[in-house]
Amino acid sequence: MKKFVIGMIIACGIVIGADTTISHALEPNSLANRMNGGFLWTTSNLTENDLKMGVNVSALPEGPQAYEDITKINISSACLPIVIEEADVEFVTVTDTTIVNNVPENTQNTINVSGGVLYFRDGVSNDKDFNNGIGFTQFMFNGTHKMGLESGYVHIQVPYGTELDYSADILSGSVLLDVVSKNVEINGAGIDDITIKQGGNKLEINSLGADIEVGGAFNYVEVTGMGNDVYLVVDSDTKKVSLAGMGMSNYIEIEDSTAYNISIDGMGGSINDNYSGYKSNSAMQSVKYGNSGTNIEIAGMGISVTLDDWR
């Protein structure tokens, strides 16, 4: 997924003459690697008659399942809403109630645990015939045969106070994360909402067109994308915030008495710093001020930034 997101940004940069290339490594088994060809394959192992409505794709049709000794949760999903939150449970507990339209009847989500990592894979990204069929894009985005959620969601409950690592490759849908975390990585193209209610160590988000709301402070934050609306909070423990992309609107709340410094390198953006009083709407931006505290780095085209007091 990250390959797709960054590829879209690079492609747009080439079209408008940008000279900056952003590159990230992909996990070998990520949704992007397993589905990237699906945007190109057109051989027909499947026909339209193979697609069914109201398919129960749940990985856990018998009900919630608890998993012990989990240190990380890794998710790949094409269109499912993902909710991860703290709860009064003894172990990580998963409930999957998802029903999907326009997929093969035998499509099923899967859950596997290996080396302390819980892997959730939706049925579409698992289905070799589907991904090698008429073409993933045809079913995901085309009119009558558009694949999509009918009802349900994936609900993962984590014991209160348990700090885990999280990673997610999401093509569409939404992510709600309401847990104290260690490191969080979310990659999405076409994802609707990314909501993170609590903080942690490191947060990395790569996305196109998402509404991103981060209500808890992280030590390190990196957001890369295009067309995102981003809301972040920064406190005295935040070491660095990095925002890069195109057409992004960013709102950053800064805790009282938190020192920070700003570095902006971009084109066609604006900055409105209600904390320090600095404002600029220059078409060409090369701005630096402040000399201590949290490093806030912004790079790209058409990026607007507002900094305000912690509410």
Give per-residue pLDDT as tens, 190-236: 777 899 999 999 999 998 888 999 999 999 999 998 888 999 999 99
Contacts of 244 (CB under 8 A, 6+ apart): 22, 222, 223, 224, 298, 299, 300
- Provide the domain limits for residue 100: 2-226
**Does residue 42 fall inside a structural domain?**
yes
Convert the pLDDT of each residue in 64-122 to its tens digit: 999 999 999 999 988 899 999 999 999 999 999 999 888 888 889 999 999 999 999 98
Residue 278 lies in a domain: no
The answer to whether residue 63 is domain-embedded is yes
The reply to whether 86 falls in a domain is yes
| 245 is a domain residue | no
Max CA separation in the chain (angstroms): 63
Domain assignment present for 253: no
Side-chain half-sphere exposure of 3, counting CA atoms within 13 A: 14
The sign of the torsion formed by the CA atoms of 215, 219, 208, 194 equals: negative
Q: Is position 300 within any domain?
A: no
Residues near 12 by beta carbon (within 8 Å), at least 6 away in sequence: 18, 226, 246
Nearest C-alpha neighbor of 223 from the set 174, 257, 175, 188: 188
Phi, psi (5° rounding) for residue 72? -150, 145
pTM summary value:
0.82
Instruction: Give the count of domains, the chain.
Output: 1
123 occurs within a structural domain: yes
Task: Give all strands (DSSP E) within 227-259, no chain letters.
Answer: 229-234, 240-246, 249-254
